[in-house]
Amino acid sequence: MVGQTSAQSKTPLVILIVIILVALSFIVKQAMPKKYYYTADLKCESCGAVFQQKIAAGTTFPVKCPKCGKKTVYRAVKCLDCGEIFAVHPPKLEEMPYPEMMMPKCPKCGSMNLGRVFEPKK
């Protein structure tokens, strides 16, 4: 009987510890920051693929291309004057002293009249 009493007294303690661990894991999961995703127009500079993909906010470019596997994918924009679709590299702040110099220009016609590659889905 002594062996059963000892085992019986440990069982509630083990159950309590499991409940505490489950509660702590739930609290920690709720406290973690959530990732936000958005759909971006992208272009691979290696294979030329143009596509849309959901990416996490704060993603650093370049990212890996799903078609060719190379890490040469950047955000893409379309020139509304000539129709050229091109990749936009993030600006290097040490090379861009003035904010107006950070605005991308079409490599084909030099226009700054740019828009989305794909129309937003309604």
Query: pTM of the predicted model, to two decimals?
Result: 0.65
Domain count, the chain: 2
Please tell me whether residues 72 and 87 are part of one structural domain. yes
Please tell me whether residues 17 and 62 are part of one structural domain. no
How would you classify residue 73: left for phi > 0, otherwise alpha for psi between -120 and 50, otherwise beta? beta
Residue 2's pLDDT is what? 47
Please tell me whether residues 10 and 55 are part of one structural domain. no
Please tell me whether residues 27 and 53 are part of one structural domain. no
Residue 30's pLDDT is what? 79
Please tell me whether residues 20 and 61 are part of one structural domain. no
The answer to whether position 120 is within a domain reads no
Cα–Cα distance, 47 to 53 (Å, whole number): 16
Please tell me whether residues 51 and 95 are part of one structural domain. yes
Please tell me whether residues 44 and 20 are part of one structural domain. no
The answer to whether position 49 is within a domain reads yes
Residue 52's domain comprises: 37-115
> Buried (b) or exposed (e) across 89-118, using 16+ Cβ within 10 A?
eeeeeeeeeeeeeeeeebeeeeeeebeebe
Report, as ranges of residue numbers, the positions in the chain whose pLDDT lies below 70: 1-8, 92-102, 121-122
Please tell me whether residues 69 and 15 are part of one structural domain. no
Please tell me whether residues 42 and 95 are part of one structural domain. yes
Please tell me whether residues 6 and 25 are part of one structural domain. yes
Residue 98's pLDDT is what? 63
Q: Please give the radius of gyration of the chain, using alpha carbons only, rounded to the nearest integer.
A: 26
Residue 1's pLDDT is what? 44
The answer to whether position 122 is within a domain reads no
Which among 68, 65, 63, 79 is positioned nearest to 111, based on CA atoms? Answer: 79
The answer to whether position 107 is within a domain reads yes
Cα–Cα distance, 74 to 46 (Å, whole number): 11
Please tell me whether residues 53 and 71 are part of one structural domain. yes
